[in-house]
Amino acid sequence: MSKASVIALCRGGVLVGVLAGALLGCRKDEPPPPLPAAPKAAEPVAEAPLQLVPEDAGKPPEPPAPTAKPGAAKSSGSLAACCAALRQNAANAPEPNKGYMTYAAGLCDLAAAQGKEKASIVGSIQSALKGAGLPSSCK
């Protein structure tokens, strides 16, 4: 064997040894890091119960009282009683019924000032109430 072939053989052996050492000496892959945990739901904080207190908006403006014309007929007592009952019920009713009753009382006052009969205006008053109760003096 010639000197060049011995050197080539040694180089090949050293190369195989280095490669074998590199393959055997490699560390195994580390497992991937764990995924981040899902954020925890916020625990409910004990709070005092909410208390709603209505604001006092003051007394609503009263519609102006109708003025009787000198030539207009006087209203019948039964229609005036109906109008008074509507105003009284409106004073004690919650919104939105209060607004409906106040409007119906104004409509009733207008009809009374014009001298209309109760039977002719009851339908209009009942539709103005939008489902709120009609006083017994209006029936």
Report the pLDDT value the prediction gives residue 66, as an integer from 0 to 100. 66
For the chain, give every domain's residue range.
77-130
Q: E-assigned strands of the chain?
A: none
- Residue 102 class from Cβ within 10 Å (0-12 exposed, 13-18 middle, 19+ buried)? buried
Report the pLDDT value the prediction gives residue 3, as an integer from 0 to 100. 86
Residue 54: CB atoms within 10 A of its CB come to 7
Closest residue by Cα to residue 84 from 60, 118, 59, 58: 118
Report the pLDDT value the prediction gives residue 74, as an integer from 0 to 100. 44
Report the pLDDT value the prediction gives residue 63, as an integer from 0 to 100. 74
DSSP letter for 91, please. Answer: H
Phi and psi, residue 20, nearest 5°: -65, -40
Mean pLDDT in each 10-residue stretch from start to end of the chain (139 residues)?
Answer: 85 86 73 80 74 76 65 56 85 83 86 79 78 74
